[in-house]
Amino acid sequence: MSEPVTPNPAGREGAIVPPRLRPGDVVAVVAPCGPPDPVRLARGMRVLEGLGLKVVTGAHVLDRDRYLAGSDAARAADLQEAWCDPAVAGVFCARGGYGATRLLDLLDWPAMRAAAPKALVGSSDVTALHRAFAVELGVASWFGPMPACATISDPEGPDAESFGHLASALFGDPAPVRGDRVIVPGAVTAPVTGGNLSLLAALCGTPYALRARGAIVFLEDVGEAPYRIDRMLTQLLGSGALEGAAGFALGSWVGCGDPCPVLEERLAPLGVPVIAGLPVGHGTPQFSVLLGAFGAIDAQSCSLTGSITGSVEAV
C-alpha cells in the first residue's frame, strides 16, 4: 500500500503532494493524447514492472482515431476510471502528442476530487492535464518520462539517468536537476508550475491558463523555431500569465535551434532568477519535476531542487 497523503498545513487549500509509490503498488497506463506504439508501450510497461509495480492499462489504450488514441469519450473514461480506482496508486500517460486539451471538459471533476490523490506522470501535451489537475483537484503531478517514449522504451533499455531519476522521484526524493546556464543570478524557493510552452500558450483564455504569480515557472518545448518561442512567450507576457513569477527554470529545447537569445530577451527583464539547460522535457536524459510542490532555484549551482515533503498553495 502507498503512504498516506501528506496533509495540507493548517487546513490551507493547496496542492496536495501525492504519496510515494512502493513496490507492489498498482499503476495504470492510459493514453489521453496521441496513440502509443504497441511495441514501445509493452516494452515500457515491462520496465515499470521491473520496479516492482503491478501495471494495468486502460481499456482503450491501444485505440486509434486519426492522430488521437481513440475517441475523446474513451480517452477521458480511461483516465477518469484509473484516477477514481482506489486500487490504483499512480497513473502514467503512455505518451504525449496532441489530444489532452480535448478531454478537459469531459472529465467528471467532482468524482475525481472525491478520489484519493495519486501520482500522475507525463510530459509534453500532458501539460494540459497538469494544469487542469492543479486547478480542479489541487494535486501536484510529475512532469517526466512516459512508458511509450524513447527514454523508457528504447530497445536497448531505458536511459539510465532518466530512469534512475524517475524511480527516485516516485519512490523517494529525487536529486536536484542541474542546468548549464545562468541567465539571471539569484535564489528563490516557491511552488513550481509550467510545462510545455506550446500547451501553456494554447491554454491562455481557458480556466486552466498558467498563473505564475509567486511561482517558479518551468518551460520547455520541442521543434519550435526561435521566432515561435518568441511569439508564445509574448502571448504569455501579454496575457498576464507570467506576471509576478518568482523565477524561471528552463528545460530542453530539442529541435528549436538556439532559443537562448530570445529566452533571455523576453525573461531577463522580469528581474527574477532564471536558469537554463535543465535536462527536463523532450531530450535525453529526461529528468522529472514535481509541478505544484515547492522547489528551489539556486543559480550558484544552476540547479532546481524539488520537494515532496509538504503541500503548497495551488498555482
Q: In the predicted model, is pLDDT for residue 314 greater than 70?
A: no
- Give the model's pLDDT for residue 171: 94
Question: How large a percentage of the chain has pLDDT more than 70?
Answer: 93
- Give the model's pLDDT for residue 307: 61
22 φ, ψ to 5°?
-135, 150
Residue whose entry in the numeric block shows the C-alpha cell 503548497: 312
Report domain extents, the chain. 9-171, 177-306
pLDDT in tens, 279-312: 999 999 999 999 999 999 999 999 999 863 443 3
What is the distance in angstroms between the CA of the first residue and the CA of the last residue of the chain? Answer: 29
Q: What is the rounded CA–CA span in Å between residue 199 and residue 40?
A: 24
Q: Which of 5-19, 65-79, 278-292 has the lowest mean pLDDT?
A: 5-19
Alpha helices, DSSP H, located in 67-144: 72-84, 109-114, 127-132
Pairing of strands 181-184, 187-196: unpaired
- Give the model's pLDDT for residue 174: 87
Question: Could you tell me the fold of the domain covering 177-306?
Answer: Glucose Oxidase; domain 1 (3.50.30)
> For the domain 9-171, what is the CATH superfamily, name and number?
Murein tetrapeptidase LD-carboxypeptidase, N-terminal domain (3.40.50.10740)
More confident residue, 173 or 43: 43
**Mean pLDDT of the region 88-100:** 97
How far CA 54 is from CA of 27, 39, 75, 82, in Å, comes to 6, 19, 21, 13
Dihedral over Cα of 95, 99, 101, 102: its sign:
negative
Q: What is the rounded CA–CA span in Å between residue 213 and residue 71?
A: 36
pLDDT in tens, 1-11: 433 333 332 22
Question: Exposed (0-12), middle (13-18) or buried (19+): which is 169, by Cβ within 10 Å?
Answer: buried
Q: In the predicted model, is pLDDT for residue 159 greater than 80?
A: yes
- Whether 282 sits among the annotated catalytic residues: the reply is yes
Alpha helices, DSSP H, located in 115-259: 127-132, 150-153, 160-171, 197-202, 226-239
- Whether 71 sits among the annotated catalytic residues: the reply is no
Choose the catalytic residue: 123, 124, 141, 162.
124
To the nearest whole number, what is the mean pLDDT of the chain? 92
Name which of 240, 241, 249 is nearest 303 in CA terms. Answer: 249
Choose the catalytic residue: 130, 141, 153, 220.
220
Q: In the predicted model, is pLDDT for residue 249 greater than 90?
A: yes
**Mean pLDDT of the region 6-31:** 73
Name which of 232, 230, 299, 291 is nearest 262 in CA terms. Answer: 230
Domains 9-171 and 177-306 alike in fold: no
Choose the catalytic residue: 165, 282, 288, 303.
282
